[in-house]
A and B are shown apart, each in its own frame.
Chain A
């Protein structure tokens, strides 16, 4: 039994409003039998509302890219979501956490596409479309209490995205072996997470190819100039006001962000 267009639009409006106000809402799956395909329709409609307000879609992100997260959610493929212009923070920048309910942060690598990328592609083919690669931090915030959600719930919620930061140094993917980059995320000078880019679907290029191939299913492609967050290399860490976060990635450099202090 599928949802009506009106029900899908209502969910999109509810999630869009919750994200704008920094409040949580009940999981759609608690009362509706939402499919993953319908959840992506909800996501696209909520992004369309942001675009109507003047935001631009500047890229995409991948989620559930680690074996551990996929097993935790009982799924076999990652998910994707949209990145819009106000979500991008400058390297070393800060954000106000008061309109975020429960922010978390995770270490990632990001791709900048030099040309359009359309599936079906292999990881090696996908890399050919990449102009640059850089370290990235993603700040997550769920519109559901305690980050509790089913797979369709999180897809509808634009994969819990809130903000992201890119490192200032961009390297060519031809110069760096991206498959096993050490990644160290420190919070207030203490090591909080240690990982490797190998945890991102075995290789970040596989994540990029998977994204292009999933978009093909809905007749879309990635466009030149788009940013792609390949997925978290470690579990996300909860943030508190005043936290300073530094990510160091082997061969790629660093990226930093700070949470505004209270008051």
Chain B
């Protein structure tokens, strides 16, 4: 194995393309000591291949994952991770997702931040704060993220999900923009995810790193370590506000976030 990054990137790429899950990265010839840095390099390798402006596949933004303390505990980590959102991952509001395109999809409700200016660390501003995030946010939208592990049975470690683009697959954004200043307290904003009319998951803003804006600030600082930054116009999915729910053909999902509104996704 000359290039473990390419070896594992190809494994994940083929799993996604074929819709057939693969073994965890440490198994099946992968390096047993895969580092977080290598895992992000695998993610970056596959994202670079997928971006093709001539075919209108472009980088739209980022997602923050593992923002719930409970999920962090399950994976034995104390930090979130991030993935990259591409234009071919977006499903139109009210549109339809084809379950057959995915392996083992799950859905969660999130707050999406849309930025009106760059969020970039520099010599004078080594740390992006939550108030920087609030100032740089044009508006927020309710969102549903569909996650899907390319690793069989979701048997993932932290490094596995990082390499696998933070298990991201699709997302749908609501269409009514709300200014952060118009929300009384995003930390206490309720969240209800209904599947086929029944509440299957509920939570509140506090579930996402105590406040969704904290997750965006974490991301802005984390990206500095990879030589990049959040840019004006980019979208950030800040992390789940409640437990994930499995998704199957025939499901009708409706996510409602108090003060933000709702967003719907049908799965065929």
A residues with CB within 8 A of B = 67, 177, 179-184, 191, 194-199, 202, 233, 248-251
Q: B187-210 toward A: CB 8 Å interface, digit per residue (1/0)?
A: 111111000001110111111001
In the complex, chain A residues whose CB is within 8 Å of the CB of B185: 250
Residues of B at the A interface (CB closer than 8 Å) are: 69, 184-185, 187-192, 198-200, 202-207, 210, 242, 256-258
**A-B residue pairs in contact (CB < 8 Å), sample of 19:** A180-B190, A180-B257, A182-B203, A182-B206, A183-B190, A183-B204, A194-B203, A194-B206, A195-B202, A195-B203, A195-B204, A196-B191, A196-B204, A196-B258, A198-B192, A199-B199, A250-B188, A250-B258, A251-B188
Nearest chain A residue, comparing its CB with the CB of B210: A191
Q: Is the CB of A181 within 8 A of B206?
A: no
Q: Indicate if the CB atoms of A250 and B204 lie closer than 8 Å.
A: yes
**Which residue of chain B lies nearest to A184 when distances are taken between CB atoms in the complex?**
B206
Which 4 A-B residue pairings sit nearest by Cβ, starting from the closest? Answer: A182-B204, A198-B192, A196-B190, A250-B188
In the complex, number of A-B residue pairs with CB atoms less than 8 Å apart: 74
Interchain CB contact under 8 A, A182 and B200? no
Are A198 and B188 within 8 A (Cβ)? no
A184 touches B258 (CB 8 A): no
- How close is B210's CB to chain A, nearest CB, in angstroms? 8
CB–CB B190/A182 < 8 A: yes
User: Counting chain A CB atoms within 10 Å of each CB, which of B69, B200, B202, B257 scores highest?
Assistant: B202
Chain A residues, CB < 8 A from B257: 180
Docked-complex contact A181 and B199, CB < 8 angstroms: no
Chain B residues whose C-beta falls within 8 Å of the C-beta of A199 in the assembled complex: 192, 199, 202
Could you say which residues of chain B place their CB within 8 Å of the CB of A181?
A: 188, 190, 258
Q: Are B204 and A194 in contact (CB under 8 A)?
A: yes
Distance in Å from the Cβ of A41 to the closest Cβ of chain B? 32
Q: A180-B192, A182-B205 are in contact. List 20 more A-B contacts (CB 8 A).
A: A180-B257, A180-B258, A181-B190, A181-B258, A182-B188, A182-B203, A182-B258, A183-B188, A183-B190, A191-B210, A196-B242, A197-B190, A198-B199, A199-B192, A202-B198, A249-B188, A250-B184, A250-B189, A250-B190, A250-B204
Q: Which residue of B lies closest to A250 (CB)?
A: B188
Chain B residues lying within 8 Å of A195, measured Cβ to Cβ, are 202-204
List of B residues within 8 angstroms of A183 by Cβ: 188, 190, 204
A196 adjacent to B203 (CB under 8 Å): yes
Closest Cβ neighbor of A191 among chain B residues: B206
Chain B residue numbers with a CB within 8 Å of A182 are 187-191, 203-206, 258
B189 to A, closest residue via Cβ: A182
Residues of B near A179 (CB, < 8 A) are 192
How far is A202 from B254 in the complex, measured between Cα atoms in Å? 13
Which residues of chain B are near A233, meaning CB under 8 Å? 202
Docked pose: A196 CA to B256 CA in angstroms? 11
Nearest CB of chain A from residue B64's CB, rounded to whole Å: 17
CB distance from A179 to the nearest CB of B (A): 8
**Complex contact A67–B199 (CB within 8 A):** yes
Identify the closest chain A residue to B208 (Cβ).
A194
- B200 contact set on A, CB distance < 8 A: 67
Closest to B68 in A: A194
Among B190, B207, B242, the most chain A Cβ lie within 10 Å of the Cβ of B190
Determine the distance from Cα of A180 to Cα of B257 in the docked complex, in whole angstroms.
8
A191 to B189 Cα, complex, angstroms: 15
Across the interface, do A198 and B204 meet the contact criterion of CB distance under 8 Å?
A: no
